[in-house]
Structure 1
Amino acid sequence: MGQTTLDRETDSRRSVLGRAFDILECFTDGEPEQTIGSLCAKTDLPPATVHRMLANLAEWGAVERAARGRYRLGMRLWRLGWGVPGARTLKDIARPYLVDLHAACGELTLLASRDRDQVLVTDIIAGNAEARLQRLPRQLPMVGSAPGAVFLANIDPEEATRLVGSRGTVGFQFWQQMAEIRRNGVAVSRGGKPGSAAWVAAPVFDGAGAIRSTICVVVPTERLNAVGLSRAVNRAARAVSQGLSVAMPSAS
């Protein structure tokens, strides 16, 4: 049977919505400002479509003009995101511990949460010096990053296998590394050369015992004290997990 008029209209609306999200997601890859040309390159949409979608998104307040020919996310979209109860609760609980951790170790601390097959940095305590020293990506790969490894170690093995896919080898060594992360409570990634960033990440669990986010410290490789930072990050993550358990208890 062919599609009805209602079916075609529904597919059309879904297509428009999908294109809008494709455009909005381009602003989360570490480049807060985009041009029509860059959006076309990333979405494979024609310039006329991108121009029309940007006009509609700007009218709604989801994007705004940053400079001549450049766009950025609008404040209305940020307000909607901040209104998500779970995200707001997590950030509210984690922020004091991120501040304390930064004060204790003097290094950049952050909250990194999963977004499908990647990890997004959702909060940072840096201090002016560290903010100038390091340009951290807002978006991290699930495979090859310390917070990504923490998620892979604490989710269902079948899902972890799917996420790794062609980007890594899922064999005995991989599962051994995942078991070690669960046993130690942290994942550590060391930069390859002096001045590069080393990461220490620990999991944050919700009231049901599922991984919800990660607490991380980022430090220049030459200043990495893996043992001391692992303990500090682990303590902070456990405290945030306890806060989430109280604020959002699991259903009985």
Structure 2
Amino acid sequence: MAGNGAPGATVVSRALAVLFAFDTAHSRLSLSELADRSGLPLSTTHRLVAELVLGKALVREPDGCYVVGRTVWDLGLLAPVERGIRELARPFLSDIHAATRATVHLAVRDGLRALYLERLSGNASVPIVSTVGTRLPLHATGVGKVLLAHAPEEVRARAMRNLRRVTPYTITQPARLFEQLEAVRRDGFATTIEEMSLGGCSVAVPIMRERFDAAPEVVAAVGVVVPNLRRDRARLVTALQVAARGIGRTMPLS
């Protein structure tokens, strides 16, 4: 069952249990799978799913499985932090895209996942698994490694216990990932080599917001996905860091 416990007695809590049954590893679910992961009787799940489909919170696909509807993502974008970062970052993301012609990502941390707020598709034929609204593992993505490196210590500890292998090149050894995260904090950028998808490499940097009477905080990450990093890594890092600083300067102090 997904979530942290049994669903409550109210209609709202049961509807939320259905929605929370979805995650990155379970983006398409049958009715019986929804009932099992939400902890609800099949008849109750059937009734709630029908109402959620009617309200466009869920979409029923031709094979009978269900996926989260676009309206749920649109609602999530109304959250002040995500909406603000996305709107402020757009012109800078466009500049990166124009300069690199690569796929550009903007992401924030959502638990042990990187939540993708924006994606601008590149010209190169690189396999891309992300879409706007996708949540991908922190340890397997460039933006995710940046966010994990600057996350609270307890978050990093939990992540080390959940190093799922996505490709043969995904880092699943805690000691090795720990060293990489130290390098991210030291060098100011993270890279991946075919760790999320075969044929795709990434580089990412943190977006920092200034704070009153405190050190700047990392609130998001911006990165690009390219076929390889052998020749252009330094150029890409520079472009990303210029954009990240620009985004950070436009953010109000916290």
TM range (shorter): 0.7 to 0.9
TM-score w.r.t. structure 1 length?
0.76
Q: Which residue of the partner structure matches residue 99 of structure 2?
A: 104
Q: Which residue of the partner structure matches residue 9 of structure 2?
A: 12
Deviations 1:85-110 (A, max 9, x none): 22111101111111110110111111
By how many angstroms is 1:231 displaced? 1.5
By how many angstroms is 1:223 displaced? 6.6
Q: Which residue of the partner structure matches residue 177 of structure 1?
A: 180
- Pairs within 5 Å for 1:110-125: 110-125=105-120
- Pairs within 5 Å for 1:8-87: 11-13=8-10, 15-23=13-21, 25-26=22-23, 29=25, 31=27, 34-36=29-31, 39=34, 47-67=42-62, 69-87=64-82
What runs of 5+ residues in structure 1 fail to find an aligned partner?
A: 1-9
Deviations 1:109-156 (A, max 9, x none): 1112211111122211015x45x6523233321223222221222122
Query: Contact 2:189–2:204 (CA<8 Å) still a contact in 1?
Result: yes
Output the amino acid matched with 2:204: A
Query: Contact 1:195–1:221 (CA<8 Å) still a contact in 2?
Result: no
Are 1:157 and 2:150 counterparts? no
TM-score w.r.t. structure 2 length?
0.76
Relative distance call for 1:30 and 1:103 in structure 2 (3 A) is: farther
Deviations 1:150-201 (A, max 9, x none): 1222122233223322535555x55443232112110011227x96100101
Give me the CA root mean square deviation. 3.1
Partner secondary structure for residue 110 of structure 1: strand
Relative distance call for 1:38 and 1:196 in structure 2 (3 A) is: farther
Deviations 1:11-52 (A, max 9, x none): 4127515413323x34x5584x55435545765655434322
Report percent identity of matched pairs. 26
Relative distance call for 1:189 and 1:93 in structure 2 (3 A) is: same
Output the amino acid matched with 2:151: I
Deviations 1:211-243 (A, max 9, x none): 211101000127762222111112212221222
What runs of 5+ residues in structure 2 fail to find an aligned partner?
A: 1-6, 164-171
The structure with the largest helix share of the pair is 1
Are 1:199 and 2:196 counterparts? no
Output the amino acid matched with 1:150: V
Partner secondary structure for residue 253 of structure 2: coil
Partner secondary structure for residue 214 of structure 1: strand
Are 1:229 and 2:227 counterparts? no
Q: Which residue of the partner structure matches residue 219 of structure 2?
A: 212
Q: Which residue of the partner structure matches residue 253 of structure 2?
A: 249
C-alpha separation in 2, matches of 1:77 and 1:11: 21
Q: Which residue of the partner structure matches residue 6 of structure 1?
A: none
Partner secondary structure for residue 139 of structure 2: coil
Partner secondary structure for residue 69 of structure 1: coil
C-alpha separation in 1, matches of 2:238 and 2:9: 52
Partner secondary structure for residue 179 of structure 1: helix
C-alpha separation in 1, matches of 2:73 and 2:32: 24
Query: Contact 1:107–1:126 (CA<8 Å) still a contact in 2?
Result: yes
Partner secondary structure for residue 119 of structure 2: strand
